Each structure stands twice: as structure tokens, then as C-alpha cells.
Amino acid sequence: MEVAELLAIKESIAVINQLAFGKVIIEGDAAAVINSILSEKEDNSDVRVLVDEVRAERRKLEGASLVWTKRSNNKPWLLELRARRQGDRTGGGGRKETEGG
């Protein structure tokens, strides 16, 4: 199971809670991770504690959906949003924009 994807979803949920967004769709491109979070079955993988944490945080969200999407459709909007909120104008792409060019 992909730990990075689990952590990204957990962080997304934290930001959604912090910003008090209403109805949202959380997309992920790792089908096994999405299925594990959505499943009611007990997770017996090495990352079961993290899966349980994500499930618990997700239950706190009202009107939030978690869906699988193709990697080509998955957009890194959270990085861009975080950069804007922190005043960093890299837009998550790593290259800093300068005024006037």
C-alpha cells in the first residue's frame, strides 16, 4: 500500500477541516488506497494504523466524497492552494515567479 498516498489524503482532510469547506471531492489515483479507506473491512496491512486514522478523520467530514481517478486526471491543487495561502508564488511547481517577468 502506498504510504505517500495515505498521508496525502490525511493531509487533504486536515486542510478541508481547517478551512471549513463544505461539500468536497477528494481524488486519489491509488485504487488500493482508496478501496482500503472506503472498505468497512478491518485492514491487516502494515499501514493499518494510518488507514484507521484516515478513516476516522474522514468520518468527521460531512458532504465529502473520496473517489478514485486516473493519474492523468489527478491535479495537485492542494500544493497550489497551500502556496497561495503562505504567500509563496511558486504555485507548487518549484519555480518562483518574479514581478515584471
Between 80 and 61, the higher pLDDT residue? 61
**Percentage with pLDDT > 70 across the chain:** 77
Show me where the domains of the chain are located. Answer: 3-85
pTM above 0.75, yes or no: no
pLDDT at residue 97 in the model: 39
- The yes-or-no verdict on residue 29 having pLDDT over 60 is yes
pLDDT at residue 101 in the model: 41
Residue range 3-85, CATH number:
3.30.420.10
* 79 vs 83: CA distance, rounded Å: 6
pLDDT at residue 74 in the model: 62
Give pLDDT tens digits for 69-83. 887 766 666 666 777
